[in-house]
Structure 1
Amino acid sequence: MVVTSSARDYINRILQDISGMKVLILDSQTVGVVSVVYSQSELLQKEVFLVELIDSISKSSESMSHLKAVYFLRPTSENIQFLRRQLPNPRFGEYHLFFSNILKDTQIHILADSDEQEVVQQVQEFYADFVAIDPYHFTFHVPSHYIYMLPAVVDPSTVQRFCDRVVEGLAAVFLALKRRPVIRYQRTSDIAKRIAQEATKLMYQEESGLFDFRRMEVSPLLLVIDRREDPVTPLLNQWTYQAMVHELIGIQDNKVDLKSIGKFPKDQEEVVLSSEQDPFFKANMYENFGDIGMNIKRMVDEFQQVSKSNQNIQTIEDMAKFVDNYPEYRKMHGNVTKHVTLVTEMSKIVDERKLMSVSQTEQELACNGGQGAAFEAVTNLLNNESVSDLDRLRLVMLYALRYEKDSPVQLMQLFNKLASRSAKYKPGLVQFLLKQAGVDKRMGDLFGNRDLMNIARNMARGLKGVENVYTQHQPLLFQIMENIVKGRLRDVDYPFVGNHYQQGRPQDVIIFIVGGTTYEESRSVALQNANNTGIRFILGGSSVLNSKRFLKDLEEAQRVARSSTTVV
């Protein structure tokens, strides 16, 4: 049960049976689906000589009858209408239409009626309607992402579109994996409940024939939860490689855009970070920052040895050997340059923003008690000129989430200090976070200070010490997975939908977070799977968060909530 393999198999099947020169036409969503599992050189091997977005194709009228057009699109009404306009006056010799999700009967009729020239060779559904970032991590990149925070305030049709996109994506994931799950949801989340109910209706009623796979002894589990149950994880700085790159620079569909942080040679402005395509990254993506530095040094030393041997060309045979190995040499050179550049740039950011001091306080707030010491540490950092506005805001948010009921006076002092020190401070944003995800809204034991088991675990960890003070935090997702493995996930907190219950422990579990996942959580899933407990976990979300994205969603939700209140 690996999402990258499922998505890659679909793209293989799309391209391998169509011989000759091809143009691959994608939309804004499927371009991400393809790019994370297929490289440019692999597309060329499949005789794909042109990759275009459907928007740019619609603006051109140039005839390309020598090419076969392979469309891979989401089955949206916009995409169907585009094809309806293009098919009567075809630009390409053949049309092969593949859709990433379930087509409606009416859409099939529209395509059939539009194919007046009979250029459409095939129409197929290949269920890759998700971006498979890593083997056990996928996302949908849902637009207007903040909607999950305000289901009662936002226009009902907008909420419905959000839910429809998530449900369609989940359906595609399970069709790709050839599974039909039983579905549970977080009791305290209206949006999670709605998505769970609509997904159940689709899989068990509306499209039950499509999901009629071979019955398993214990059905897979889909658990739908809400980001607001753990607002701490997306607010923390990260110190493992993949998560740290996303937090400090940003990753979009396994690509890192370096133009935003400095000037780089043209071929280094965007680099790929993929566990499927980069062995060094695969081996180090979950390692901490200190170990990464040493491992990169070893890689540089190995490359220097290879470079020296290549400089020692004295015979025709040496030259022929170098030419044969040249592609591998260039690839190695590019990889070394990429990782050295990323680590160098992140080191600069860490130093400029004093992130080691900031992060140590963050981890203390997230993992340990001691309100007095925490208040003093946060106050000192708010007064530090080197600490950025973003880091000040996150520190106050973490303090507020931890001590909102314990220290209202100190909390107000921090609000006032933040407002006076940070020019970009958004009034009321911390209070809005507490309204959305404060202790009264959460049902889980986020800080491990309610449940006796969690208190004992935290005490034991404190006595033993932690391997790294900067990576001691564990997301709430870790607790949820642990409860599933031990059969302790309570029905009252995470009810089943309908009459579809689970007898026994599932072997396959997909946990979907409405509101977005983090790379810290995907690391927890990968490490959990490596423990061989007999359960395979996959993590999915409506987007992939870093602290900037989470705060942007929060600001958007606050703006919409205020405007709706004003209208009322």
Structure 2
Amino acid sequence: MVLVSAVRDYINRMLQDISGMKVLLLDSYTVSVVSVAYSQSELLQKEVFLVELIGSKSKESMSHLKAVFFLRPTTENIQYLRRQLASPRFAEYHLFFSNILNDTQIHILADSDEQEVVKQVQEFYADFVAIDPYHFTLNVQSNHIYMLPVVMDPSSLQNYCDCVVDGIAAVFLALKRRPVIRYQRTSDVAKRIAQETANLMYQKETGLFDFRRAEISPLLLVVDRRDDPITPLLNQWTYQAMVHELIGIQDNKVDLRSIGKISKDQQEVVLSSEQDVFFKSNMYENFGDLGMNIKRMVDEFQQVAKSNQNIQTIEDMAKFVDNYPEYRKMQGNVSKHVTMVTEMSKIVEERKLMLVSQTEQDLACNGGQVATFEAVTNFLNDESVSDIDCLRLVMLYALRFEKENPLQIMQLFNKLSSRSSKYKPGLVQFLLKQAGVDKRTGDLYGNRDLLNIARNMARGLKGIENVYTQHQPLLFQTMENLTKGRLRDVDYPFVGNHFQQGRPQDVVIFVVGGTTYEEARAVALQNATNSGIRFILGGSVVLNSKRFLKDLEEAQRIVRSSTNAI
């Protein structure tokens, strides 16, 4: 519970020492930070009367209330507070910032507080969204920027890097640790972020990061999404990852309004391992086992519902009233999970995803060229298979066999283009330029390194428990190499003169370009092995195939328009 606990601790400290009725004011980013870590009912228990987004049109004076602001230290937010303090709406202002304030910002706030309503200004380093105990995201808006060459849009790239560096810094400030830093050698953006993070921690803010030194420093490893383009392109078959792939999760919330007739309280539901016991125990289960577990949950609920119908005495009635909140919660939980699984089953059937996914897994894990070419061709000829599924299959084939048979790849390109005009401009070719074999550091298919070849053979001999979940992300191999001290310095160099003495006990792996829930699952399973290393996974966003393709399209559009301009 390391990351969620850190954020909850900050929120507790913000709210508990301020007595009386309060208003909590958040910006568009910190509302995500708070919502994933703290429930509405918990805020009410802390006497938070109202939660308001800054910038909303509300100008009503609330001079009887105390205002708790939790904001990012951006120029826009400082200017907003400056205007607020010139004409205060609240009795008291308690200002908390999610990251480091600079001297200029502190002076602006001090000069603006002419009516002396500001009671405190503090930095509480929760500038990241802790979606799970060992998984965080920074929800970077223009995530495609990491794919662009530096010369194309230097200011946007700098803003992107600043945002990532600030988020990483906040994670280590919350953990009260200063790491040694390594990065993926083949990625310019990973190198830049690693160097700027090191500069912040060891030069600019060295005093802030001067925590009591552990015998072995934690490790920050910065890698690039393009080193493993396979994982975000695959269909998923474990619960959390599958919901994100087929419906979508944003800040642990699932929007179900598009499903059709659904009760108002089920239109947006929370999927949190901290707030939902059933989800916590099933989030990494495969779809088949999940179905049986949901049936068991429905059966248990029916038993409870039946017992509640047998109210015959005053004592029975009193017992029912006492247990009613728990009963309502159980009813909502059952309804939520049944609705999602029913919807996902419908999508799987409509899009023939079980057939599609078998070929995806063959391309990702086994690589029989003749059989997979025939299978992908058949899908392209089948009009009942969706365009996006055909696109992903061609991408997976191209990534797997780009050096082996260019003629077959070109045949698939032509078939894809004739099938859907949307993909004529060469999105697959753009992906190969971004994340082809010449650009990658890791052994993505486990066929370069003798050790990886042997491991894959051993897995094949043992058999795969589930054909749909046989794929392992490259991150799994990276964690294994770190655990066994085999991550090569030449591929993942250290920044500056800060080398690792001994095996680290804490490792934060940050993926520029975004993480996936399949990778989060790999981290959770690795942590459960008690290897002596605790891994934390973070990224600029949380990807599904739709978001990965959207980022790819946006980057391609900018590159093409820039090339045409020349």
Query: What TM bracket, shorter-length normalisation?
Result: over 0.9
Q: Residue 476 of structure 1 aligns with which residue?
A: 474
How many residue pairs get aligned? The number is: 566
- Encode CA deviations 1:363-392: one digit per residue, 9 max, x unaligned: 000000210001001011111122101100
1 CA distance for matches of 2:152 and 2:304?
59
CA positional deviation for 1:426: 4.4
- Give yes or no for the alignment of 1:451 onto 2:449: yes
List runs of 5+ in structure 2 lacking aligned partners. Answer: none
Q: Residue 46 of structure 1 aligns with which residue?
A: 46
2 CA distance for matches of 1:565 and 1:552?
20
- Encode CA deviations 1:241-278: one digit per residue, 9 max, x unaligned: 00000000000000000113333221111000000000
Q: How does 1:150-549 map to 2 (within 5 A)?
A: 150-549=148-547
1 CA distance for matches of 2:425 and 2:417?
7
- Give yes or no for the alignment of 1:73 onto 2:75: no
Letter in 2 for 1:8: R
CA positional deviation for 1:24: 0.6
Residue aligned with 2:332, SS: helix
CA positional deviation for 1:541: 0.1
Q: Residue 13 of structure 1 aligns with which residue?
A: 13
- Give yes or no for the alignment of 1:114 onto 2:122: no
- Encode CA deviations 1:341-375: one digit per residue, 9 max, x unaligned: 00000000000000000000000000002100010
Residue aligned with 2:515, SS: coil
CA positional deviation for 1:423: 4.3
**Contact map agreement 2:301 2:331 (CA 8 A) in 1:** yes
Residue aligned with 2:269, SS: strand
**Contact map agreement 1:389 1:424 (CA 8 A) in 2:** no
Letter in 2 for 1:493: D
Residue aligned with 2:221, SS: strand
| Moved segments of 4+, more than 3 Å | none
Q: TM-score, normalised by structure 1?
A: 0.99
1 CA distance for matches of 2:136 and 2:82?
31
CA positional deviation for 1:61: 2.3
**Contact map agreement 2:2 2:134 (CA 8 A) in 1:** yes
2 CA distance for matches of 1:198 and 1:263?
50
CA RMSD in angstroms, aligned pairs only:
0.9
Letter in 2 for 1:360: Q
Q: Residue 58 of structure 2 aligns with which residue?
A: 60
Q: TM-score, normalised by structure 2?
A: 0.99
**Contact map agreement 2:248 2:255 (CA 8 A) in 1:** yes
- Encode CA deviations 1:448-502: one digit per residue, 9 max, x unaligned: 1111111111111111110000000000000000000000001000000000011
Q: Residue 29 of structure 1 aligns with which residue?
A: 29
Letter in 1 for 2:3: V
**Contact map agreement 1:153 1:564 (CA 8 A) in 2:** no
Residue aligned with 1:208, SS: coil
2 CA distance for matches of 1:333 and 1:222?
43
List runs of 5+ in structure 1 lacking aligned partners. Answer: none
**Contact map agreement 2:184 2:441 (CA 8 A) in 1:** no
Letter in 1 for 2:45: Q
1 CA distance for matches of 2:423 and 2:343?
26
- Encode CA deviations 1:161-204: one digit per residue, 9 max, x unaligned: 11000001111000000000000000000000000000001001
Residue aligned with 2:554, SS: helix
Residue aligned with 1:146, SS: helix
CA positional deviation for 1:424: 3.0
1 CA distance for matches of 2:374 and 2:452?
26
1 CA distance for matches of 2:522 and 2:153?
36
Residue aligned with 1:87, SS: helix
**Contact map agreement 2:249 2:255 (CA 8 A) in 1:** yes
Between 144-153 and 182-191, the greater mean CA deviation after superposition: 144-153
**Contact map agreement 1:249 1:261 (CA 8 A) in 2:** no
2 CA distance for matches of 1:548 and 1:311?
46
1 CA distance for matches of 2:61 and 2:260?
41
**Contact map agreement 1:100 1:129 (CA 8 A) in 2:** yes
Residue aligned with 1:466, SS: coil
